[in-house]
Structure 1
Amino acid sequence: MIKVYASASIGNIGVGFDVLGVGILPIDGALLGDIISVERSDSFSLYTSGKFFHELPTEVENNIVYHSWKYFCACVGEDFPVSIYLEKNIPISSGLGSSACSIVATLVAMNHYSGNLLSNHQLLMLMGEMEGKISGEVHFDNVSPCFLGGVQIILQTSSIISQRIPIFSDWLWVMAYPGIKISTLEARSMLPIQYHRNDCITHGRYLSGFVHACYTDQESLAINMMKDIISEPYRSQLLPDFFSIREEVISLGALICGISGSGPTLFCVVNDQLIANNVANLLSGRYLQNDEGFVCVCRLNFSGVQILSE
Structure 2
Amino acid sequence: MDARTMKLTAFAPASIGNVSVGFDVLGAGLAPVDGTLLGDTVSIEPAENFALTASGRFADRLPAGMENNIVFACHEFFNSALMLKGIAVKPCKMALNKALPIGSGLGSSASSIVAAFYALNAFYDYPFDNNELLYMMGECEGDISGSVHYDNVAPALFGGITLMTGLKEPICEQVPVFKDWYWAMCYSGISVSTAAAREILPKQFDMATTLTFGRQLANFIHASHTQNEALAAQVFFDVLAEEHRQVLLPHFAQSREFAMANGAIGFGISGSGPTVFAACKTQAQAQVIADYLAAEYIQNEDGFAHVCQIDTQGTRLV
Find 2:23's aligned residue among 10, 13, 17.
17
- 1:252 positional shift: 1.4
So what's the TM-score if we normalise by structure 2?
Answer: 0.95
Kindly indicate whether the alpha-carbon contact (under 8 Å) linking 2:201 and 2:244 is maintained by their aligned counterparts in 1. Answer: yes
Tell whether 2:45 aligns with 1:39.
yes
Q: Secondary structure at the match of 1:57?
A: coil
Kindly indicate whether the alpha-carbon contact (under 8 Å) linking 2:177 and 2:310 is maintained by their aligned counterparts in 1. Answer: no
Structure 1 stretches lacking a partner, 5+ long:
none
Kindly indicate whether the alpha-carbon contact (under 8 Å) linking 1:31 and 1:89 is maintained by their aligned counterparts in 2. Answer: no
Alignment of 1:1-310 (within 5 A): 1-77=7-83, 78-308=88-318
Kindly indicate whether the alpha-carbon contact (under 8 Å) linking 2:186 and 2:277 is maintained by their aligned counterparts in 1. Answer: yes
Q: Quick one: which amino acid aligns to residue 120 of structure 2?
A: M
Q: Secondary structure at the match of 2:30?
A: strand
Q: Quick one: which amino acid aligns to residue 168 of structure 1?
A: F
Which stretch of structure 1 is more off in the superposition, 184-193 or 103-112? 184-193
- 1:88 positional shift: 1.0
Runs of 4+, deviation exceeding 4 Å: none
Deviations 1:114-140 (A, max 9, x none): 121111110000011111101111110
Deviations 1:8-53 (A, max 9, x none): 0101000100110011111111121111110111221111111111
Q: Quick one: which amino acid aligns to residue 72 of structure 1?
A: F
Separation in structure 2 between the aligned mates of residue 70 and residue 48 of structure 1, nearest angstrom: 17
Kindly indicate whether the alpha-carbon contact (under 8 Å) linking 1:95 and 1:263 is maintained by their aligned counterparts in 2. Answer: yes
Q: Quick one: which amino acid aligns to residue 299 of structure 1?
A: Q
So what's the TM-score if we normalise by structure 1?
Answer: 0.97
Q: Secondary structure at the match of 2:11?
A: strand
Which stretch of structure 1 is more off in the superposition, 124-133 or 70-79? 70-79
Kindly indicate whether the alpha-carbon contact (under 8 Å) linking 1:168 and 1:219 is maintained by their aligned counterparts in 2. Answer: yes
Kindly indicate whether the alpha-carbon contact (under 8 Å) linking 2:161 and 2:174 is maintained by their aligned counterparts in 1. Answer: yes
- 1:156 positional shift: 2.5
Q: Quick one: which amino acid aligns to residue 256 of structure 1?
A: G
Kindly indicate whether the alpha-carbon contact (under 8 Å) linking 1:12 and 1:19 is maintained by their aligned counterparts in 2. Answer: yes
Deviations 1:96-126 (A, max 9, x none): 0000110000001111111211111100000
- 1:255 positional shift: 1.4
Kindly indicate whether the alpha-carbon contact (under 8 Å) linking 1:134 and 1:185 is maintained by their aligned counterparts in 2. Answer: no
Kindly indicate whether the alpha-carbon contact (under 8 Å) linking 2:237 and 2:267 is maintained by their aligned counterparts in 1. Answer: no
The total of aligned residue pairs comes to 308
Q: Quick one: which amino acid aligns to residue 16 of structure 2?
A: I
Separation in structure 1 between the aligned mates of residue 168 and residue 77 of structure 2, nearest angstrom: 21
Separation in structure 1 between the aligned mates of residue 89 and residue 64 of structure 2, nearest angstrom: 24
Kindly indicate whether the alpha-carbon contact (under 8 Å) linking 1:73 and 1:80 is maintained by their aligned counterparts in 2. Answer: no
Q: Quick one: which amino acid aligns to residue 50 of structure 1?
A: G
Kindly indicate whether the alpha-carbon contact (under 8 Å) linking 1:176 and 1:293 is maintained by their aligned counterparts in 2. Answer: yes
Structure 2 stretches lacking a partner, 5+ long:
1-6
Separation in structure 1 between the aligned mates of residue 192 and residue 169 of structure 2, nearest angstrom: 33
